[in-house]
Structure 1
Amino acid sequence: MYDEDDLTVLDDIDAELESPLDTIEPLDAESVAPAPDPEAMLALLEAPETQQRMLATRAFCELQDERAIPHLIRLLADGCPLVRVSAAYALGRNPSPTAVEPLIVQLNRDWNGYVRKGVVWALGNCRDRRSLVPLTDALKTDISAVRLWAASGLAQMASVGYEAVVASIPPLIEALMQDPVAAVRSNCAWSLGQLCRELPSNVVYAGAIDGLIEALAEDEDLSVREDAKSALLRVGDPRGLQIIETLEMEGI
């Protein structure tokens, strides 16, 4: 879907995985009060100047005010990518069912990887069944920075319901086994640990435990193995606990 040479991908993978908001230049101390005034920020969401819209959208990454939601949805399509990414993050802080479809539309059309990353984060925070397919697609096809948060976002399906949890697990297992980026695999392990806690002991649950055990025993990256171990400990699955004990006794 997206090429790893996307214009927004940075020269090294660590930089790519940083937060989009980390790349925005700090504003002057006089420009942003420690506690932004919601009324003033609401007005600036309609400002014609890009810098003022950016200031306002960034403020709602901290503030929660449902009055901002329609404006933030509109700003997802702003001409400035820094406004778009801030609007996405702000909608993640102010989740609403009305934002889900606009976020999905923007995820599918935005050329900017940082914006898509923010959108994926917001979709996860919306905890909505409609987010499942776009998050799954992003985990399979997008650049690594977006896949990273798509993996985490799928953990939020635990709040949506049993069917959403069941549908989230196979793509997470696949990415845990196959994704070339260790940080993405780690997030998959964490999400599987979260989702397994919501499942009865069935075939889907067993498949997730199998995936975590395989990652624990065979992944080449220490951080992935540690996250798989933490997930198994969190779930408390007897088979997983036995494997952990065996590996520790063997000094692995």
Structure 2
Amino acid sequence: MYDEDELSLLEVETELESPLDLMEPLTNESEFPKPDPDEMLALLTDSQPQQRMLAARAFCDIEDARAIPHLINLLTDICPLVRVSAAYGIGRNPSPEAVEPLILQLNRDWNGYVRKGVVWALGNCRDRRSLAPLTDALKTDIPAVRLWAASALVQMVNISYEAVVGTMPPLISALVQDPVAAVRSNCAWAIGQLCRELPSNVIYATAIDALIQAFAEDVDLGVREDSKSALLGVGDTRGLQMIETLEQEGWF
């Protein structure tokens, strides 16, 4: 769906951090108060892109429902820096009204940074409508966006059992098949988080099988370690036994 050359725009190695970690805070809370919400609300409709961007970024620190309609409008701003800031702002101020606009922007935005921010915001909105676009992003987008789609899908645990079940096939497929090790590692982490909330059924067993396979067979040591950590976190007896057996055989 998207050109893999876009990977040059995003450093995949750093994408396991929060999207907001790469954005310098507007203020140091230990020295300065947060921006004034009323002033920032006015700047969201400023004629200057720089002012709109700064205002949208301010709502990464401020929770104020009044900003949501303006942030939604800024998702289609001509400036990509404004769009990505708006996406992060919505992620901090999630709203059901923002879900459909976020999905539309995910499907049409050419900028990988913006799509990554949109994926993060969709996860934070914790809405069943996000499941299909997030799984599609995990399958088809550039590596940095695929990585964050895996993380965002963990939020389905806050929606319903059916939503969690819907996340497993694409996460398992990406864990086994994605060509980028960082994406596979994040899928292992996501599967481990979701397995903690599943009953012991066929979906759970299939997910544990995938983690065991990644631990035993993945060519990347980091993926194997993350799969091991996921299995240890779940505490599945079969997974723990496999870890013990392979380590006794000197697998690593």
Q: Do they fold alike, i.e. is TM over 0.5?
A: yes
1:248 Cα offset (Å): 2.2
Q: Which deviates further from its counterpart, 205-214 or 229-238?
A: 229-238
Tell me, in whole angstroms, the C-alpha distance in 2 between the residues paired with 1:18 and 1:9.
18
Task: Provide the residue aligned with 1:2 in structure 2.
Answer: 2
Q: Deviation per CA, 1:58-100, whole angstroms, max 9, x where unpaired?
A: 1111111111111100000001000000000111111111110
Task: Provide the residue aligned with 2:41 in structure 1.
Answer: 42
SS at match of 1:51: helix
For the pair 1:54 / 2:79, whether they are aligned, the reply is no
1:226 Cα offset (Å): 1.2
CA contact (8 A) 2:13 2:182 kept: no
1:251 Cα offset (Å): 2.7
1:9 Cα offset (Å): 3.5
1:19 Cα offset (Å): 6.9
Tell me, in whole angstroms, the C-alpha distance in 2 between the residues paired with 1:15 and 1:21.
12
Task: Provide the residue aligned with 2:149 in structure 1.
Answer: 150
CA contact (8 A) 2:175 2:184 kept: yes
Task: Provide the residue aligned with 1:209 in structure 2.
Answer: 208
Task: Provide the residue aligned with 2:114 in structure 1.
Answer: 115
**Residue identity matched to 2:54:** L
1:199 Cα offset (Å): 1.2
1:28 Cα offset (Å): 10
Tell me, in whole angstroms, the C-alpha distance in 1 between the residues paired with 2:10 and 2:75.
26
SS at match of 2:4: coil
Tell me, in whole angstroms, the C-alpha distance in 1 between the residues paired with 2:125 and 2:48.
29
Gaps of 5+ in 1: none
Task: Provide the residue aligned with 1:88 in structure 2.
Answer: 87
1:20 Cα offset (Å): 6.4
The within-5 A match list for 1:201-240 is 201-240=200-239
**Residue identity matched to 1:52:** Q
CA contact (8 A) 1:92 1:126 kept: yes
The within-5 A match list for 1:5-84 is 5-6=5-6, 9-10=8-9, 13-14=12-13, 34-84=33-83
Tell me, in whole angstroms, the C-alpha distance in 1 between the residues paired with 2:233 and 2:10.
36
1:36 Cα offset (Å): 1.2
Q: Deviation per CA, 1:125-173, whole angstroms, max 9, x where unpaired?
A: 1111000000000000000010010011111111111111111001000
**Residue identity matched to 1:143:** I
Name the count of aligned residue pairs: 249
**Residue identity matched to 1:83:** V
Task: Provide the residue aligned with 2:242 in structure 1.
Answer: 243
Q: CA RMSD in A?
A: 2.3
CA contact (8 A) 1:20 1:115 kept: no
Distance 1:187 1:164, change over 3 A: same
CA contact (8 A) 1:9 1:113 kept: no
CA contact (8 A) 2:9 2:112 kept: no
Tell me, in whole angstroms, the C-alpha distance in 2 between the residues paired with 1:121 and 1:21.
10
Q: Percent identity?
A: 75
SS at match of 2:71: helix
Tell me, in whole angstroms, the C-alpha distance in 1 between the residues paired with 2:148 and 2:164.
17
**Residue identity matched to 1:166:** V
Tell me, in whole angstroms, the C-alpha distance in 2 between the residues paired with 1:242 and 1:215.
15
CA contact (8 A) 1:20 1:85 kept: no
Runs in 1 of length 4+ with deviation above 2 angstroms? 8-29
Tell me, in whole angstroms, the C-alpha distance in 2 between the residues paired with 1:145 and 1:17.
9
Distance 1:226 1:73, change over 3 A: same
Distance 1:163 1:62, change over 3 A: same
Gaps of 5+ in 2: none
* TM-score computed with the length of structure 2 as normaliser: 0.92
Distance 1:41 1:157, change over 3 A: same
SS at match of 1:36: coil
